[in-house]
C-alpha cells in the first residue's frame, strides 16, 4: 500500500505561529510511504486550557505510535512541571489541558477488502473522498453539529470527561485512489456548511497544493460575513491533513 500526504496549518488570525495549538501526525508538509498499515491524526488543543498545544502534539503522536493514554498523561505532566511557575500557572496546571482528536488507520488486506478505521473524540473530522465525491464525514456530518462544548480528552486522569466513553469509531472500505482529509473543527465546520450549499468542497480541498493556497482560502472565508453576522469560517487554528492511498 502506498500512502502520500500533505499537511497545511495556520494559527488564529492575530496569533503568532508559536501560539498555534493544533497538532498533526505526520508533521511533514509532504510525505510518502509504503507500508501495510498507516496511522495519522489531527488534534485541536482547547484555547481555554494551558499547555494545550503540547497535549495535542502528544495525543497525535500517541495515537499513531499506539502509546497508552496513561503514558501520554505522565509525559505531559513531566514536561509542564519542569518550570518554576507563578501561582496562576500552577493553578491552571491542576485543571489540565484538553484536546479533541481524530485519527485514521489504513490497513491493506491481502485478497480481502481494504479497511480503514476512524477514531475520534470531539469535533476534529475525517472526510472520506472518492473521485471528488465526499462519501462520509466522521464523527460530525453536518455544520450544525458543531458547538462550543465538544468532547475532549484531558491530560489528567481524574477529570470528569471519560476519554474511552466519548471516543467514537467508524469503519469502512477504502479503494485505490481514495483520499482522506483530517481537519480541525473550524475548517471542518466550514467545509460541511459549503457542502450543504451544494458546493464541491472535495475539489476545493483536493486543489490545495501549497501552504499559500490554504492561507488564501482561510483568510477569505474568515473575512466573509454571512447573513447571520458570523464569519464563514470561525477564527480558530486551522489544520488540514490530506492523505491519498493506493494499493
Partner 1 sequence: MPYQAEISRTNPSCFLFLIDQSGSMQEPFGSKDGAAGAKTKAESLADAINRLLQNLVIKCAKSDGIRDYYHVGVIGYGGKGVGPAFGGPLKDKEMVPVSEIANNPTRVEQRVKKVDDGAGGLVEQKIKFPVWFDAMGEGGTPMCTAFITATKLLTKWISEHPNCFPPIVINISDGESSDMDPYQAATDLMSLSSSDGEVLLFNLHLSSSAEKAIEYPNDEEKLTDDHSKLLFSMSSILPEYMQKMLSSEGVPVTFSTRGFVFNADLVSVIRFLDIGTRPSNLR
Closest to partner 1 by CB, 80 vs 238, is 80
From the CB of 57, what's the least distance to partner 1, in Å? 12
Q: Strand 179-183's sheet: what is its strand order?
A: 30-34, 2-10, 238-246, 179-183, 125-130, 133-138
From the CB of 167, what's the least distance to partner 1, in Å? 22
Is-contact 209 5, C-beta < 8 A? no
Closest to partner 1 by CB, 87 vs 112, is 87
From the CB of 49, what's the least distance to partner 1, in Å? 9
Q: Give alpha helix (H) positions in the chain.
A: 52-64, 69-80, 87-95, 163-166, 185-196, 201-206, 211-223
Give every CB contact of residue 56 below 8 A, 6+ residues apart in sequence: 21, 22, 23, 43, 44, 45, 99, 101
**How much helix, strand and coil, in percent to the nearest 5, is found in the chain?**
30, 30, 35
Q: How far apart are CA 213 and CA 109, in angstroms?
A: 35
Is-contact 5 39, C-beta < 8 A? no
From the CB of 211, what's the least distance to partner 1, in Å? 22
Closest to partner 1 by CB, 16 vs 197, is 16
From the CB of 92, what's the least distance to partner 1, in Å? 4
Residue ranges in contact with partner 1 by CB under 8 A: 12, 14-15, 18-19, 47-48, 50-51, 53-54, 80, 86-89, 91-92, 95, 228-230, 235
Closest to partner 1 by CB, 91 vs 144, is 91
Is-contact 174 244, C-beta < 8 A? no
Closest to partner 1 by CB, 34 vs 228, is 228
Amino acid at each position: 500500500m502506498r500512502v502520500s500526504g500533505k499537511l497545511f496549518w495556520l494559527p488564529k488570525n492575530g496569533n503568532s505561529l508559536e501560539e498555534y495549538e493544533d497538532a498533526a501526525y505526520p508533521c511533514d508538509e509532504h510525505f510518502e510511504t509504503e507500508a501495510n498499515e498507516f496511522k495519522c491524526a489531527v488534534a485541536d488543543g482547547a484555547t481555554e486550557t494551558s499547555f494545550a498545544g503540547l497535549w495535542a502534539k502528544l495525543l497525535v503522536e500517541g495515537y499513531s505510535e499506539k502509546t497508552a493514554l496513561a503514558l501520554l498523561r505522565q509525559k505531559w505532566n513531566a514536561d509542564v512541571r519542569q518550570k518554576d511557575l507563578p501561582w496562576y500557572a500552577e493553578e491552571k496546571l491542576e485543571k489540565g489541558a484538553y484536546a479533541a482528536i481524530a485519527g485514521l488507520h489504513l490497513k491493506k488486506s491481502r485478497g480481502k477488502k481494504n479497511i480503514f478505521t476512524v477514531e475520534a473524540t470531539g469535533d476534529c473530522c475525517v472526510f472520506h473522498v472518492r473521485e471528488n465525491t465526499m462519501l462520509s464525514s466522521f464523527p460530525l456530518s453536518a455544520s450544525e453539529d458543531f458547538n462550543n462544548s465538544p468532547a475532549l480528552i484531558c491530560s489528567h486522569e481524574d477529570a470528569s470527561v471519560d476519554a474511552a466513553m466519548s471516543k467514537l469509531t467508524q469503519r469502512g472500505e477504502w479503494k485505490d485512489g481514495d483520499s482522506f482529509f483530517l481537519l480541525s473543527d473550524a475548517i471542518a465546520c466550514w467545509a460541511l456548511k459549503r457542502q450543504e450549499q451544494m458546493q464541491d468542497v472535495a475539489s476545493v480541498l483536493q486543489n490545495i497544493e501549497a501552504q499559500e493556497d490554504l492561507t488564501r482560502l482561510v483568510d477569505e472565508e474568515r473575512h466573509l460575513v454571512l447573513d447571520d453576522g458570523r464569519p464563514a469560517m470561525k477564527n480558530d487554528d486551522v489544520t488540514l491533513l490530506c492523505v491519498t492511498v493506493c494499493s
